């Protein structure tokens, strides 16, 4: 399966001898393709878009992540024993409360910030980048910890974009190093089996082992995992789900709303557009978030690259 299809290339995991009709449980990311695919899709979606300049900026951010993926040495892989212990306990092996963050994440941040030296940015954005470049390593680690725990203060929101992008690369590169065959889905199926984070979007496949399957994509480590359709990923209910979309679009992106917990999650339909990218298409459809938000639903979890004050 090629990049740009419903489920990108990587390492599929599943029980030995699983029948061809069973959807495969999860896929580990391929950092060398993940960020480049998002960058290219953002560049395509930006053409004529009402938020064209912002989407082009986010494409630059994805290209910076790709540069990190193709130039930096791999992070320290978690020990086999720690992974086995986590899997046995049905907890995610890369959960941030289980292990300290590898200081190598800061190398990714340095590269991301340097990438924007050649990109025209507003003065306010350049001030944020300069501030991060002046930060001591301990201060950067504190910012990363605050971001991962969801306790960033309002003055730090501008810094969060670059912190999030660097951590996203770091956790994606780390997840790619895991032993795929040893991983299992979590009891809380709406959470990533690798790092325990929430998904950014879901993709309903148009090809592959079982077309029509839904895969959720982790907002932090980019792992994809299978989740049954027509079940709320927040509360697990199924009786009050509806699909909302923007009138007149091609139907490739919809919001699955739950009348029980009043949350929604985005679904991307590869049958409507085989080029959908779970990360890029989420950013390009913020108008859908506004639509369902005004109707009274809350997003199941924020996109870490779109934090607001």
Which pair of structure tokens corresponds to residue 275?
């080029």
> Looking at residues 199-208, what average pLDDT do you find?
91
Q: Is residue 276 part of a domain?
A: yes
Same domain for 145 and 93?
Answer: yes
Q: What is the pLDDT of residues 225-253, one digit of tens each?
A: 999 998 999 999 988 999 999 887 888 99
In a shared domain, residues 126 and 53: yes
pLDDT surpasses 60 at 296: yes
Per residue in 185-196, pLDDT (tens digit) is 999 999 999 999
pLDDT at res. 309: 47
What mean pLDDT is reported for the chain? 88
| pLDDT at 261 exceeding the cut of 70 | yes
Does residue 192 form part of some domain?
no
- Per residue in 274-293, pLDDT (tens digit) is 999 999 999 999 999 999 99
Measure the N-to-C terminal CA separation of the chain; round to a whole number of Å: 39
Whether residue 11 is predicted with pLDDT greater than 90 in this model: the reply is: no
The answer to whether 304 touches 237, Cβ cutoff 8 Å, is no
Provide the pLDDT for residue 179: 81
Boundary of a domain, candidates 130, 152, 181? 181
What per-residue confidence (pLDDT) applies to 18?
Answer: 43
Assess whether pLDDT exceeds 60 at residue 184: yes
Token pair in block for residue 198 = 């929430």
Residue 209: alpha-carbon gap to chain centroid: 23
Same domain flag for 100 and 152: yes
Distance CA 251, CA 271 (A): 10
Residue 74 is part of a domain; what is its CATH number? 3.90.1670.10
pLDDT at 16: 40
Looking at the fold, whether 31 and 175 belong to one and the same domain comes out as yes
Are the C-beta atoms of 225 and 250 separated by less than 8 Å? no
pLDDT of residue 285: 96
Say if residue 170 is in the same domain as residue 267.
Answer: no
Give pLDDT tens digits for 19-47. Answer: 456 778 999 999 999 999 999 999 999 99
What pLDDT score was predicted for residue 262?
A: 96
Shared-domain flag, residues 55 and 99: yes
Please tell me the predicted confidence (pLDDT) of residue 118: 67
Q: Could you tell me if 169 and 226 lie in one domain?
A: no
Position 195 scores a pLDDT of: 95
Structural domain count of the chain = 2
Domain assignment present for residue 186? The answer is: no
Q: Does residue 11 sit within a domain? A: no
Domain assignment of residue 194, yes or no = no
Kindly state whether residues 56 and 162 are assigned to the same domain. yes
Res 2 pLDDT > 80: no
- Residue where a domain stops, chosen among 155, 181, 207: 181
- Flag whether 118 is in a domain: yes
* 155 and 218 fall within a common domain: no
pLDDT confidence bin for 158, thresholds 50/70/90: confident
Q: Is 49 found in the same domain as 163? A: yes
Q: How many angstroms separate the CA atoms of 210 and 182, rounded?
A: 22
Of 181, 214, 243, the position where a domain reaches its end is 181
208 inside domain: yes
3-class secondary-structure state, position 286: helix
Domain that holds residue 259: 199-299
Same domain assignment for residues 99 and 142:
yes
Whether 132 has a pLDDT exceeding 70, the answer reads yes
Question: Mapping DSSP to helix (H, G, I), strand (E, B) and coil, where does residue 12 land?
Answer: strand
Is the confidence at residue 205, as pLDDT, over 80? yes
Average pLDDT over residues 77-92: 92
Q: Is residue 80 included in any domain, yes or no?
A: yes
The pTM of the full predicted model, rounded to 2 decimals, is: 0.90
If asked whether residues 129 and 274 sit together in one domain, one would say no
């Amino acid at each position: 399966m090629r990049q740009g299809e419903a489920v990108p290339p990587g390492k599929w995991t599943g029980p030995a001898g699983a029948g061809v009709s069973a959807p495969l449980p999860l896929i580990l990311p391929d950092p060398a393709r993940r960020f480049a695919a998002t960058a290219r899709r953002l560049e395509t979606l930006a053409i004529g878009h009402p938020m064209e300049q912002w989407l082009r900026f986010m494409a630059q951010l994805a290209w910076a992540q790709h540069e990190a993926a193709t130039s930096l040495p791999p992070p320290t892989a978690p020990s086999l024993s720690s992974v086995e212990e986590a899997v046995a306990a049905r907890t995610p092996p890369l959960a941030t409360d289980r292990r300290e963050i590898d200081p190598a994440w800061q190398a990714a941040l340095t590269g991301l910030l340097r990438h924007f030296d050649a990109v025209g940015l507003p003065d306010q954005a350049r001030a944020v980048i300069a501030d991060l470049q002046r930060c001591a390593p301990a201060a950067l680690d504190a910012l990363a910890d605050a971001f991962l725990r969801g306790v960033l203060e309002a003055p730090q929101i501008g810094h969060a974009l670059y912190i999030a992008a660097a951590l996203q690369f770091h956790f994606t590169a780390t997840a790619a190093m895991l032993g795929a065959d040893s991983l299992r889905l979590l009891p809380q199926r709406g959470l990533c089996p690798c790092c325990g984070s929430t998904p950014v979007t879901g993709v309903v496949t148009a090809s592959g082992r079982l077309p029509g399957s839904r895969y959720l994509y982790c907002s932090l480590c980019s792992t994809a995992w299978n989740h049954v359709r027509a079940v709320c990923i927040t509360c697990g209910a199924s009786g009050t789900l509806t699909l909302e979309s923007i009138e007149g679009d091609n139907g490739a992106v919809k919001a699955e709303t739950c009348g029980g917990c009043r949350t929604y999650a985005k679904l991307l339909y590869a049958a409507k557009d085989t080029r959908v990218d779970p990360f890029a298409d989420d950013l390009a459809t913020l108008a859908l978030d506004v639509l369902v938000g005004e109707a009274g639903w809350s997003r199941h979890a924020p996109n870490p690259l779109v934090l607001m004050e």
